[in-house]
Amino acid sequence: MTVPNENGSCKPSVHDCGLVRYRDAFKFQLTLLEHRLKNNVLNTVLLLEHKPVITLGARQSENKLLVSEEDIKEKGIDIEATDRGGGTTAHNPGQIIVYPVIDIKSLGLGVNEYIRKLEAVGIEFLEQLDIKGQRKKGFPGLWVGEKKIGSVGVKVKKWITFHGMAINIKNDLSIFENIVPCGLEDVEITNVLKETGKEYSMSDVKRRLKELCIKHFSNKAQS
């Protein structure tokens, strides 16, 4: 992964980072964050998949494991503490990750408006795959009825965002059996494959999301 150079464009720079361990992607986000704070790089969006990992959010009361950390690690699943909002969640191949590292003030957005914008990207993306995704008041993320298909957890430092959104496409959902997702008891986790029976390639998924991120995160005041 390399840091993109500033070129004066008002569109975000969107990068496909492939399959990445969580800790490596987090370090890269922090590098991008420092460069964005100095205005050395564009607003940037990272698209990637994670190797199997369970992440713990900053709100300890929402971090709930159903099996021991030793049992989780024996399954080849990493466990990582994070500084993002929200509680425990899981990532693995076949789930698409969207990490925007952007200056929300450059888009004229506040923090809550940005989160709604990020969710809007996910909802519009799901619509393209014939899924009616929706918000659920008081529960950030993406929902299909009472089933959760995507999670949102962000952090903002001096108006620069990091962390972001994860949407289940065709991942092995059994990883969620190790946790209480986002601290929510008895929530069913689903994915695009389960809801539609269609198996989309991750390259197609990334192409669609790249277009949507450019649409929603371009600086319209300068375009």
Give the integer Cα–Cα distance in Å for 123 and 41.
28
Burial (CB count <10 Å: 0-12, 13-18, 19+), residue 51: middle
With beta carbons less than 8 A apart as the criterion, state whether 56 and 79 touch. Answer: yes
Q: Which of 10, 17, 182, 213 is catalytic?
A: 182
Say how far apart CA 56 and CA 63 lie, in whole Å: 6
Instruction: For residue 181, count CB atoms less than 10 angstroms from its CB and return exposed for 0-12, middle for 13-18, buried for 19 or more.
Output: buried
In 3D, which of 60, 33, 57, 70 has the Cα closest to residue 166? 57
17 catalytic residue (yes or no): no
Which residues are known to be catalytic? 182
